[in-house]
Chains A and B, each alone.
Chain A
Amino acid sequence: MSATETRDAASSYFTVGAEIHDSKAPAGPIERKWQKRQFEAKLVNPSNRRKLTVIMVGTGLAGGAAAATLGEAGYNVLNFCYQDSPRRAHSIAAQGGINAAKNYRNDNDSVQRLFYDTVKGGDYRARETNVYRLAEVSANIIDQCVAQGVPFAREYGGLLDTRSFGGVQVQRTFYARGQTGQQLLIGAYQALERQVNAGTVQMHTRHEMVELIVVDGRARGIVTRDMVTGAVEPWFGDAVVLATGGYGNVFFLSTNAMGCNVTANWRAHRKGAYFGNPCYTQIHPTCIPVHGDTQSKLTLMSESLRNDGRIWVPKRAEDCVKDPRDIPEQDRDYYLERIYPAFGNLVPRDIASRQAKYMCDEGRGVGPAVAEVDRDGNQRQVRRGVYLDFSDAIGRLGRDAVASRYGNLFDMYAQITGENPSETPMRIYPAVHYTMGGLWVDYDLMSSIPGLYVGGEANFSDHGANRLGASALMQGLSDGYFVLPNTINDYLAAGPFPPVDASTPETVAAVDQAKGRIERLLAIKGSRSVDSFHKELGSIMWEYCGMERNERGLMTAIEKIRDLRQQFWSDVKVTGQSQDLNQALERAGRVADFMELAELMCVDALHRRESCGGHFRSESQTEDGEALRHDDEYAYVAAWEYTGEGAKPILHKEPLVYEFIELKQRSYK
């Protein structure tokens, strides 16, 4: 097919709408923009704040931090989460660390460098203004967390320790052993509970958002399902913030928590919020390989392991079944060190992941062979794993030093696999980990629906096409502690808005929609379980919209997804009733939304005929097999507008203008 023909092939799946030219970042030098925005934002008088209600969905780093901070400011906050406590949000599982431009190491770090590294790491598909701000507030995050009592790793002098992390050459990553996310989240959780105690935040746990209420073009509330009683009820506010995390579970197997879902975001998308860059998915290179078809989730091993571990596969396929300790040095292929001598094992995640896939595709993978179906529908057995070896580090630093750095990760690995990594190399393989895409937001983090804000992984804003290690925690907390609380006031200053209540027609409609959907799911009484649909959807996405994508595959995937969606709505079996705790029903609602999102992801991946960051199109690569961007055509954010079930989405392009950083083809060689 010629280039024009393929463009036509892709374009038959969507229509193109108006471009977005104003992301509302103020003009001027980049280092003055945030200050300027804060100065220009309209303020709300402290005594008026308690008259304004903010609905916050999610209690992770972004949601929890924002709810606490808005509560401290005196707003009335209604906070929701699907878990039984705000402390369970999946931010808790982040292991490695959090970046901050503190330059404590005196190693040339600065806001400018963190900004540059993040844009470069994102393969020049992030919005400059947002990223600069992220780098700017990063240092404040560390101060804030330390003051809250977050027990970061310290040196004997009592000062904070830092380490280097995937994709950068400075040591700017702060950490708390292998549980940084947990410690940061507990810090935010404590701040949040303090506000609950103060009465500014009302916490509603085990409540799942199932609809957004938009009145007169403004987001004015949400509809939730009480997961214990099944009650479907509306909640009202002057602004709504979604901090509901990523949608990696569309792949079924991912490192996300089992409950992570796209429902809140997707409901907002259906009500008019644009979805930005849905195809940008991050595949994390260091996860524990799949053991079999009953696997429910994948476990990440912190990328920090790559600081001291060396990745290799046997040079010869016949060595793959051997005990790795019996394979001599000369028969090992340390492929990352070989291909990327400057960065070695610390190349960005997407590169590390793809190379692992290639090694296994070549037949040099290790570990148990797992059955899979290839694109031509053939069954095959493939070993999906590469070694991550610590014997050099143990030789150099000693067993204790290595254990003190990675002890809990080693224990975790041993517990899951029954093998001890200080004795035999770990086996790792890439897994879906993070989604850079999310609801489109402007500089203020407001979506295309006025009054609907989106923070953390749920928005698309800061990581471009690929996220650097230890940047997710930074972004979540930056959005939550510092950005949202300084931008949302600009919108709220016009409030309180006219009252809405349960009898407002838009509320009635939203509640009816939510209830109708639940009833519909329960009424199908088909023959297949929700999980079986989810697994099938996941395998389609992993095969066609995973580490490597191409046009034919994506078009196939779209067909398969449409079929599967149809089957789902006619044959899914949801047991039980809606009036009590019904986990099958919860999952069914989430999978239904994943089915719709999956198609949009494929359409987005199909339309972006370039490789960038986590999105690798096999049609677009250099002679060395590296990702090849097409900045002339695709240097934009794809913001998708929903037009109805089965209708073509509208693509709004937001051109990415690089004023302060020069676009370069990424090279880690």
Chain B
Amino acid sequence: MRIKLRIWRQAGPDAPGAMQTYQLDHVSEEMSFLEMLDMLNEELTAQDLEPVAFDHDCREGICGMCGIVIDGAPHGRYNSSVPTTTCQLHMRSFADGAVIDVEPWRAGAFPIIKDLVVDRKAFDRVIQAGGYVSVNTGSAPEAHSTPAPKRQADKAFDNATCIGCGACVAACPNGSGMLFTSAKITHLAMLPQGQPERALRVKAMVAAHDAAGFGGCTNIGECASVCPKQIPLASIGQLNRDLIASLFKGDGK
């Protein structure tokens, strides 16, 4: 395959950036998108040019480190027939001769570090605010002492599959991190272990979300559409429901 890439190059956080065009001639269909970028980087290195910086690690769609906006959609969602991470997008999804636009996540809360690499510490700050069950090591009761209904547990699991990649934020016209936040809220809200801190958690996490510089949610749905783990928009509904319920509880006032 031959492809043309238009990639956002930006030397540093404060440097101006611009799209640059590269041509690749011997791309194989079996390659993943990141392997294609590896190939480009090998060529750039051979020409003594600096390779394109991009984040990636596990390359099996689970660590959440990779994330590139491809043809205007995070992880190239609309180039793929199934929800995907960038590392699991394969070149067979592109036509021979395709022109592919490659940009970093763009969001106020995710400043660009270099080229396609952004800083996603804002997500950690949201979790720090309450995305956990407060249980010290060693103090846990026997696992079977609290049964968890399977249906609820499955829903918790569906939300717990969030990989924190930030595609939801990148896709959101408001730059909101609400889908990410709601996935953690829903995960813990569906389990018996998450109940004691439920009201406190939702207040604290939503406040941290806003303080981290994310925009507000206006229920558009772009986030859920690009989520590689298919966290549903309904999770945001659950967050809202918990948030409203928490207003009538004493916790966290």
A–B in direct contact per CB < 8 Å: yes
Which one of A273-281, A319-327, A574-582, A654-662 is at the B interface?
A574-582
Q: How far is the CB of A473 from chain B (nearest CB, A)?
A: 14
Say which residue of A85, A90, A412, A581 sits within 8 Å of B88 (CB atoms).
A412
Please give me the residue from chain B that is nearest to A146 by CB atom. B143
Contacting pair B164 A87 (CB below 8 A): yes
- Contacting pair A83 B63 (CB below 8 A): yes
Residues of A within 8 A of B42 (CB): 529, 531-532
In this complex, what residue of A is CB-closest to B127? A193
Q: Is B2 positioned at the interface, with any CB of A under 8 Å from its CB?
A: no
Judge whether A69 is part of the interface by a CB distance below 8 angstroms: yes
Asked whether, in the complex, the Cβ of B57 is within 8 Å of the Cβ of A88, the reply is: yes
A187 to chain B, nearest CB (A): 9
A68 to B133 alpha-carbon distance, docked (Å): 13
B157 and A415 contacting across the interface, CB-CB below 8 Å? no
A395 cross-chain contacts in B, Cβ below 8 A: none
Query: Which of B142, B148, B157, B194 is in CB contact (< 8 Å) with A177?
Result: B157
Asked if B20 lies at the interface with its beta carbon under 8 angstroms from chain A, I say no
In the bound complex, what is the Cα–Cα distance between A216 and B149 (angstroms)?
56
B53–A581 touching, CB < 8 Å:
yes
Contact A85:B124 (CB < 8 A) given known A154-B153, A182-B161, A294-B31: yes
Is B163 an interface residue when CB atoms closer than 8 A count as contact? yes
Are the C-beta atoms of B113 and A151 separated by less than 8 Å? no
Q: Decide if A18 is an interface residue (CB 8 Å cutoff).
A: no
Most chain B C-beta atoms within 10 Å of own C-beta, residue among A68, A159, A179, A193: A193
Let me know if A482 is at the binding interface, CB within 8 A: yes
Max chain A C-beta neighbours (<10 A), residue from B90, B121, B132, B149: B132
Cα distance, A87 to B126, chains bound together (Å): 13
In the complex, are the beta carbons of B137 and A72 less than 8 A apart?
yes
B55 touching A147, Cβ below 8 Å: no
Chain A residues with CB below 8 A from B161, complex form: 179, 182
Partner of A258, one of B59, B153, B154: B59
Q: Which B positions have Cβ atoms within 8 angstroms of A?
A: 11-12, 28, 30-32, 34-35, 38-39, 42, 44-46, 48-51, 53, 55-65, 82, 84, 88, 90, 92, 113-114, 117, 119-121, 123-124, 127-129, 131-144, 146-150, 153-154, 156-157, 160-161, 163-164, 187-188, 191, 193-194
CB within 8 Å of B: which of A148-171? 148-160
A532-574 vs B, CB cutoff 8 Å, 1 = contact: the mask equals 1000000000000000000000000000000000000000010
Residues in B whose Cβ lies below 8 Å from that of A292? 28, 30-31
B147 contacts A85, CB within 8 Å? no
- Pick the residue among A65, A179, A576 that contacts B62 (CB under 8 A): A179
Q: Mark A374-417, 1 if CB is under 8 A from B, else 0.
A: 00000000000000000000000000000000000001101110
Q: State whether the Cβ of A205 lies closer than 8 Å to any Cβ in chain B.
A: yes
Note all chain A residues with C-beta closer than 8 A to B44. 575
Known: A147-B135, A157-B147, A194-B134. A92 touches B160 (CB 8 A): no
Give 18 new A-B contacts, CB below 8 A, not counting A143-B142, A580-B12: A68-B137, A72-B137, A83-B63, A84-B55, A93-B58, A143-B140, A143-B141, A146-B140, A147-B141, A154-B148, A154-B150, A205-B124, A294-B28, A296-B38, A482-B137, A531-B42, A573-B45, A575-B48
- Some 21 contacts from A to B, beta carbons below 8 A apart, are A83-B65, A90-B58, A144-B138, A146-B140, A146-B146, A147-B135, A149-B191, A193-B131, A205-B124, A228-B113, A294-B31, A296-B59, A299-B59, A415-B82, A415-B88, A482-B137, A485-B137, A529-B45, A529-B46, A532-B42, A584-B51
Q: Which of B50, B150, B157 contacts A158 (CB 8 A)?
A: B150
Instruction: Sort chain A's interface into a size bin.
Output: 35 or more
B65 to chain A, nearest CB (A): 5
A482 to B120, CA, bound (A): 31
Of residues B82, B136, B187, which shows the largest number of chain A Cβ atoms within 10 Å of its Cβ? B136
Q: Which residues of B contact A529 (CB under 8 A)?
A: 42, 45-46
- Tell me the bound Cα distance from A83 to B62 in angstroms: 14
Instruction: Report the bound CA distance from A190 to B163 in whole Å.
Output: 13
Most chain B Cβ neighbours within 10 Å, of A190, A573, A576: A190
Determine the main DSSP class of B at the interface with A.
Answer: loop
Could you tell me which residues of chain A, from 265 to 314, have a CB within 8 Å of some CB in chain B?
Answer: 291-292, 294-297, 299-300
On whether the beta carbons of B156 and A90 are closer than 8 Å, the reply is no
- Chain A residues positioned under 8 Å from B133 (CB to CB): 147-149, 190
Chain A residues near B135: list those with CB within 8 A.
144, 147-148, 191
Please name all residues of chain A whose beta carbon is closer than 8 Å to the beta carbon of B129 when the two chains form the complex: 197
Also in contact, A156 and B150, with CB within 8 A (given A102-B143, A193-B132): yes
Does residue A497 face the partner (Cβ distance < 8 Å to B)? no
Q: Known A84-B120, A144-B140, A294-B39; judge A257-B187 contact (CB<8 A).
A: no
Residues of chain A contacted by B144 (CB below 8 angstroms)? 104, 159-160
Given known contacts A83-B57, A93-B60, A205-B121, A72 and B136 CB-to-CB distance under 8 angstroms: yes
Choose among A84, A85, A196, A300 the residue with the greatest number of B CB atoms under 10 Å from its CB. Answer: A84
**B42 — nearest CB in chain A belongs to which residue?**
A529
Residues of A within 8 A of B136 (CB): 69, 72
A84 touches B65 (CB 8 A): yes
CB of B200 to closest CB in A, whole Å: 13
**A149-B187, A190-B132 as given contacts; A300 in contact with B153, CB under 8 Å:** no
Establish whether residues A581 and B117, one from each chain, have CB atoms under 8 Å apart when the complex forms.
yes
**Residues of A close to B61: CB separation below 8 A:** 412, 415
Residues of chain A with a CB closer than 8 A to B92's CB: 418
Rounded to whole angstroms, the CA-CA distance of A189 and B63 in the bound complex is 13
CB of A584 within 8 A of CB of B28, answer no
Mask of A127-150 contacts with B, CB within 8 angstroms, 1/0: 000000000000010111011111
| Chain A residues whose C-beta falls within 8 Å of the C-beta of B90 in the assembled complex | 415-416, 418
A183 sits at the interface (CB 8 A): yes
In whole angstroms, what is the CA distance A149 to B90 when docked? 34
Which residue of chain B is the closest to A100 with respect to CB atoms?
B143
The answer to whether A581 touches B132, judged by C-beta atoms less than 8 angstroms apart, is no
Write out the residue numbers on chain A whose beta carbons fall within 8 Å of the beta carbon of B156. Answer: 149, 151
Residues of B within 8 A of A576 (CB): 50-51
Closest to A480 in B: B137
Q: Are B51 and A87 in contact (CB under 8 A)?
A: no
**CA of A532 to CA of B90, assembled, Å:** 22
Asked if A151 and B63 sit within 8 Å, CB to CB, the answer is no
Query: Of all chain B residues, which has the CB nearest A90?
Result: B58
A381 to B32 CA separation, bound complex (whole angstroms): 23
CB distance from B155 to the nearest CB of A (A): 9
Verify A575–B188 contact, CB threshold 8 A. no
Interface residues in A364-378 (C-beta closer than 8 Å to B):
none
Distance between Cα atoms of A34 and B66 in the complex (Å): 42
A186 on interface, CB distance cutoff 8 Å: yes
* Contact across chains for A142 and B51 when beta carbons are under 8 A apart: no
Compute how far the CA of A297 lies from the CA of B65 in the bound complex, rounded to whole angstroms. Answer: 15
Q: Chain A 474-488 against B: per-residue CB contact (8 Å), 1 yes, 0 no?
A: 000000011001000
Interface residues in A329-348 (C-beta closer than 8 Å to B): none
The reply on A17 being an interface residue by CB < 8 A is no
User: Which residues on A sit within 8 Å (CB–CB) of B60?
Assistant: 93, 255, 297, 299-300, 412
